A and B are shown apart, each in its own frame.
Chain A
Amino acid sequence: MVSRVIEWVDQRFPLTSFVKHDLTEYPTPRNLSYWWNFGFLAGFVLVLQIATGIFLAMYYKPDVNLAFDSVQHIMREVNYGWLLRYIHSTGASAFFVVIYVHMARTLYYASYHKPRELMWWTGQGLMLLIMATAFMGYLLPWGQMSYWGAQVITNLFGVTPFFGDQIVLWLRGDFSVGDATLTRFFALHYLFPFLIFALVGIHLVALHTVKSSNPSGISLADKDNIPFHPYFTLKDFFGLGVYLIVFCAFVFFSPNTFIEPPNNIPANPLMTPAHIEPEWYFLPFYAILRAIPDMLGGVVAMAVSVLIFAILPFADRTSIPGGARYRPIYRAMFFIFLADVLLLGYVGAKPPTGYFVPLGQAATLVYFATFFLLPFVSKAEERWMRARGLPADLQALFQQRPPRDKWNDKGETR
């Protein structure tokens, strides 16, 4: 019976061939480490955010007079409302943890190289959409941090030449963040996850065209690919189990870690809290904004700091695969950059006074210098490595498949 139904569907829709091609028999490099888990985890977090978000929207009211109380209603009176909200609020932070690790893995192994440029750029589009969604969602509880965060960020658009004031007015639909702003942020916060979902689809279509990268950095021979199921379904689910232990520990034992205390005070347009800071996942970019003394320059620097990742497929001019695994100078740059981003995050959480000002400026300089030096460093590094002789295991990889050939690989293994 079941097989006859599947046959009926298959004549009209490529169900079995799709499942075989993209899931059960999808060829996956056998040497993937747990760093390759985070794309799956990001997908899981997205689905969980959409699910909890839809159920929260059944009780949330996007009206300045009702929003704060409706969140309290969800927390106190709706069955498991506290759980849905804490999963959603913790999930926002978890989403950034997961995609930042996912990005860091791509940086470490230089997976953005040809032929995976579109993976990298669609991924960057996803990051921008997730940032926008998180920012708009943060306004919805209508607490003090919500309000003043939205006030500050919408103000940033005021630096646009000539039309600054009109753009800020248009974004808010009011002279300050108000009812119109709250309602449109809610509408867009509900819309954007579905755009993200669609873009994830495109990200995955691109992935299944070029196939997964792997720690060696070269496309593997057929014999080194194994079917996705059961090997990587199991590996992904095991990683999910570990992830859920950490995630649930926060949701159940420390749910307020990611909720700023001032956000438990209803929004007051007439009083700014003594110290406002963005959510942790925006702190490095916020530190860059504050590092530039000029307002327009600060906003431009912050925007560039997010978008500049797009140049990496061109800026990293090496032909040595595997990223930091085989390239000692690239590896050093990776860890310096990582430490620098953490430092920027630390500075972003501190008031902009005293030695935090020059510290933030120095860290900003290092941040951009990494990107601008990469084209020269990567070339010089390759010359130096080839003169010195490539490591034995890399040499073996090259003999298995010469580096020039690796770009001719069509990604089709069968």
Chain B
Amino acid sequence: MADSEILSCPNRRDFLGKATAVVGAAGVAAACWPFISSMNPSTDTLEKATTEVDVSAIQTGQMETVSWGGKPVFVVHRTDAQVASMKNSQGGHDPQSDADRVKKSEWLVVVGVCTHMGCIPAKNEDGWLCPCHGSVYDNSGRILHGPAPKNLVVPPYGFVSDSKIVIGEA
């Protein structure tokens, strides 16, 4: 009988067995996804992903620290002298021009988290000094010396008007 030959054909059985195993494994993998995904930020957390800042109240030479998704963001209204000196410098061991780090030269917006170990640097006249391990940043948030490997991160942001910026989307 042809039918029984087909039924007893070991290759076909092997194929069916392996196909079943593959589909089953794919199903188990797919079932794992909701569990993994649930540990990602929930939608209400994602809503906090943008922060609006009214910058009209920040006087020249002043800085305001705002929270963006739980992280501090420094919004600095730089003086003309600071802007001028930053334009002439490339920073320290992570060289970058000041123009690449700002949208309007008097406004510097950087994430206030030291790129070394995540402490919050303290502001002074010449920039920032991280209290944890002594990393020194200039008034463009660029690393000058100390253990931090990178400049302070510039978050995506944009001016929606002359006096208002939105951090979180460019």
A interface vs B, CB < 8 Å? 51-52, 55, 58-59, 73, 76-81, 83-84, 237
The answer to whether B38 touches A79, judged by C-beta atoms less than 8 angstroms apart, is: yes
In chain B between 60 and 103, which residues have their CB closer than 8 angstroms to a CB of chain A? none
Q: Which 3 A-B pairs have the closest CB atoms?
A: A80-B34, A77-B42, A79-B37
Rounded to whole angstroms, the CA-CA distance of A83 and B45 in the bound complex is 19
Rounded to whole angstroms, the CA-CA distance of A51 and B35 in the bound complex is 9
Total count of chain B residues near the partner, CB < 8 A: 12
Q: How far is the CB of A75 from chain B (nearest CB, A)?
A: 11
In chain B between 31 and 59, which residues have their CB closer than 8 angstroms to a CB of chain A? 33-35, 37-40, 42-45
The answer to whether A84 touches B42, judged by C-beta atoms less than 8 angstroms apart, is: no
29 contacts between A and B (CB under 8 A): A52-B35, A55-B35, A55-B38, A58-B38, A58-B39, A59-B38, A59-B42, A73-B42, A73-B44, A77-B42, A77-B44, A77-B45, A78-B38, A78-B42, A79-B34, A79-B37, A79-B38, A79-B42, A79-B43, A80-B33, A80-B34, A80-B37, A80-B38, A81-B38, A83-B34, A84-B34, A84-B35, A84-B38, A237-B24
The answer to whether B42 touches A81, judged by C-beta atoms less than 8 angstroms apart, is: yes
Q: How far is the CB of A98 from chain B (nearest CB, A)?
A: 19
By a CB distance below 8 angstroms, the chain A residues around B24 are 237
By a CB distance below 8 angstroms, the chain B residues around A77 are 42-45
Total of A-B residue pairs, C-beta within 8 Å: 36
Rounded to whole angstroms, the CA-CA distance of A58 and B43 in the bound complex is 15
For B40, give its contact among A79, A83, A84 (CB under 8 Å): A79
Q: How far is the CB of A176 from chain B (nearest CB, A)?
A: 32
By a CB distance below 8 angstroms, the chain A residues around B40 are 79
Q: How far is the CB of B26 from chain A (nearest CB, A)?
A: 14
Rounded to whole angstroms, the CA-CA distance of A125 and B30 in the bound complex is 35
Rounded to whole angstroms, the CA-CA distance of A404 and B44 in the bound complex is 69
With A79-B37, A79-B38 given, name 20 new contacts (CB 8 A): A51-B35, A58-B38, A58-B39, A59-B42, A73-B42, A73-B44, A77-B43, A77-B44, A77-B45, A78-B38, A78-B42, A79-B40, A79-B43, A80-B33, A80-B34, A81-B42, A83-B34, A84-B34, A84-B35, A237-B24
Of listed B33, B35, B40, B45, residue having the most chain A CB within 10 A: B35
The chain A residue with its CB closest to the CB of B47 is A77
By a CB distance below 8 angstroms, the chain A residues around B42 are 59, 73, 77-79, 81
Q: How far is the CB of B39 from chain A (nearest CB, A)?
A: 7
Q: How far is the CB of B170 from chain A (nearest CB, A)?
A: 25
Q: How far is the CB of B44 from chain A (nearest CB, A)?
A: 4
By a CB distance below 8 angstroms, the chain B residues around A58 are 38-39
Of listed B34, B38, B40, B45, residue having the most chain A CB within 10 A: B38
By a CB distance below 8 angstroms, the chain B residues around A55 are 35, 38-39
By a CB distance below 8 angstroms, the chain B residues around A80 are 33-35, 37-38
Q: How far is the CB of B110 from chain A (nearest CB, A)?
A: 30
The chain A residue with its CB closest to the CB of B46 is A77
By a CB distance below 8 angstroms, the chain A residues around B38 are 55, 58-59, 78-81, 84
Q: How far is the CB of A165 from chain B (nearest CB, A)?
A: 43
Rounded to whole angstroms, the CA-CA distance of A83 and B34 in the bound complex is 8
The chain A residue with its CB closest to the CB of B32 is A51
By a CB distance below 8 angstroms, the chain B residues around A52 are 35
Of listed B24, B33, B34, B39, residue having the most chain A CB within 10 A: B34
By a CB distance below 8 angstroms, the chain B residues around A76 are 43
Q: How far is the CB of A255 from chain B (nearest CB, A)?
A: 14
Rounded to whole angstroms, the CA-CA distance of A76 and B43 in the bound complex is 8
By a CB distance below 8 angstroms, the chain A residues around B44 are 73, 77
